[in-house]
Amino acid sequence: MYTRILLILIGISILFPAFSQKEFKKGYIITTDFQRIDGYLANYGKENTSDKYVFRKNKKDNILKLNTNLVREFGYDDGEKFVMAEVLIEVSDSHIQNKNDSTEYTLKWLKKNAFLEIVFEGKLANLFYYNYNGLDNYYLQVKQGKLIPLIYKRYYVTPQSNNAYNQEEIVENNAYKETLFNLLKCKNGKIPKKNVEYTKRSLTDYLLKYHECNDASLYSVLYNSRSATRFNFKGSYFMNFMNFGINDGTTQYYDFPNKTGHSGGIEIEYLIPYNRYKLSLFIETLYQSYNGTYTDPDTHEPTTINYKAISIPLGINYNLHLDKNNLLYARVAVVPNIILNDSYISFYYPENRQEVNSPVNVYFGAGYSFKRFGIEYRYYTRQNLTGKLEVNTHDSDFDHMSLRVFFTFAKTK
C-alpha cells in the first residue's frame, strides 16, 4: 500500500507543472499612443526578467504578449512598474586571456529596446533594472537625462600555458562605483563608494543617501520595495496513523496494534526569491509518540513500546501558485528525531527496559492551501526503532502517515 501511495505522490509532483497557471494580478498598460488600459498582468518568464510579460483586459479574454513596439509602460497595482526604453547592454566575452582586456575600453555594446523595471524614482536621479541572458544590468538617470549603464562585469582569465599550477583567475570591472561617485555628489562632499554592491538593495540605499544628503528624500519613490526575503510562520495539527512490528530474529513477528494519534508542530518557511518563489526551504519542530503492547499468544508475555520524540524536519517545497489565494505544493524532508527520556521498549518483563533507537528518516508530502489555511498528506519512510538494542537480532518497522492541517499565523511581504 505504501509503495502505491509513494508512486501517487511522485506522479502528482510530476504532473503539477502541467496544470499550473501563472498568477494574473491587477495592473495596467500604457500604449505607445498614451492610452491607459486596465487589466491583468502575469510574468511567464523568471522572477527577475521582464521580457515575457502577458496581459489580458478581463480574465476571460485572450492573452497578449507585451511588445516594446506597442507598449511604453506597464505595472501592477501593488507597486511594480516597467517602462520601455532603448538601452545599451554590455555583451563582451567574459573569458579573457589578459587582465588588460577587462577595462572599459574593451567592452562591447548591444543596443535594443527593452522593458526596464523602475527600482528607484527620485527628484534628482532614477535607477532602472534589466536582466539580459541571466545577467543583471542597472541604469542610472540623473535629472531626467539619458540612461547611463552602471558597469559591472566579472572576467575569467584563462591561463596562457598548460602548466597545472596556472589556475583560472577572476577579475572584476567595478566601473559602476566610479560612475556613482562622480555623478551623485552631496552638498557636504561625496558618499563613500567602498561598500556599495551591485544589487538592488545596495544601489537603492546609495540613491536614498544621495537624496537625503541633498534634502530631496521626500520626493523619492522606491518601487517594488517589498522585501525579496519572505518567511511564513505556521502552526500545525497532525492526525497520525501508525503501526509497529518487531522481528524476534527467528520466525516470530510481533504485530503491535495500529494507532491513531494527535500532535502539533511549528514551521518556519523561507521562500527563495527566484522564479516567482516556486521553491522554498523549511524547518519544522513537531512532537511524535506511539505506545502499544503485544502479548505473545503462547506464553502470554507482554512486549511494550513507549516511543516519544521531537522531530525536526528540514526540507524543500515546490510551489505552484494557481492564483493569489490558491496554492498546490509537493515537498520532501529529512527528519532527524530526538528521543525523549521516558521512551523505552521492554521484552517479557516490564522492568526489562531498553533504549529506543532514533534513526533519521524521510517524508514525502503534497498539499493545498487557501489563503492562510492548508491541508497536507505525508508519508514517512520506515524506521527501525530497535536497531541498537542489546539483543541486536530484534529489528522493527515503524510505519507512519499523517494528515496535517495548518494555519499561517504570520508572513513577511
3-state SS track over 93-124? CCEECCHHHHCHHHCCEEEEEEEEEEEEECCC
**Band (55; pLDDT cuts 50, 70, 90):** very high
Determine the pLDDT at residue 352: 76
pLDDT band at 80 (very low <50, low <70, confident <90, very high): confident
**Closest by Cα among 256, 321, 247, 261 to 290:** 261
**Can you tell me the distance from the alpha carbon of 116 to that of 122, in angstroms, rounded to the nearest whole number?**
16
Average pLDDT over residues 155-173: 71
What per-residue confidence (pLDDT) applies to 116?
Answer: 95
Q: What is the spatial distance between Cα 27 and Cα 118, in angstroms, rounded to a whole number?
A: 15
What confidence tier does 385 reach under pLDDT thresholds 50, 70, 90? confident
Least confident of 79-83, 244-248, 359-363: 244-248
The number of helix segments (H) and strand segments (E) in the chain equals 3, 29
Q: Please, which pLDDT band fits residue 224 given cuts at 50, 70 and 90?
A: low
Give the whole-angstrom CA distance, residue 114 versus residue 347: 74
Per-residue confidence (pLDDT) for residue 240, from 0 to 100: 94
pLDDT at 294: 87
Least Cα distance to 59 among 98, 5, 21, 113 occurs for 21
Neighbours of 219 (CB within 10 A): 11
pLDDT of residue 6: 45
SS3 91: coil
Q: Per-residue pLDDT averaged across 249-258, rounded?
A: 76
Residue 265's pLDDT is 94
Q: How confident is the model at residue 71 (pLDDT cuts 50, 70, 90)?
A: very high
- Residue 25's nearest CA partner among 82, 67, 80 is 80
Q: What is the mean pLDDT of residues 79-96?
A: 88
353 contacts 345 by C-beta, under 8 angstroms = yes
Rounded Cα–Cα distance for residues 321 and 83 (Å): 26
Question: What is the residue-averaged pLDDT of the chain?
Answer: 83
**In percent, how much of the chain has pLDDT > 70?**
81
Adjacent-strand bridge partners of 384: none
pLDDT score for 266: 96
Nearest Cα residue to 45 out of 16, 65, 73, 59: 65
What pLDDT score was predicted for residue 148? 95
Q: Are 412 and 229 in contact (CB under 8 A)?
A: yes
pTM assigned to the model:
0.55
Residue 73 Cα distances to 85, 110, 259, angstroms: 9, 22, 60
Give residues with Cβ within 8 angstroms of 344, minimum separation 6.
305, 306, 353, 354, 355, 356
Q: Report whether pLDDT(19) > 50.
A: no
pLDDT at 160 over 70: no
Examine the pLDDT at 10 and tell me if it is beyond 50.
no
Residue ranges of domains in the chain: 14-215, 228-411
Average pLDDT score over residue span 250-275: 84
Residue 74 CB contacts under 8 Å (≥ 6 apart), including other chains: 27, 28, 29, 30, 41, 53, 55, 66, 81, 82, 115
pLDDT tens by residue, 285-317:
999 999 888 888 777 888 889 999 999 999 999
CATH architecture observed for domain 228-411: Beta Barrel (2.40)
> What mean pLDDT comes out for the span 342-350?
81
CA dist 413 and 406 (Å) reads 19
Question: Residue 246's pLDDT is what?
Answer: 85
Placement of cell 558618499 in the chain: 191
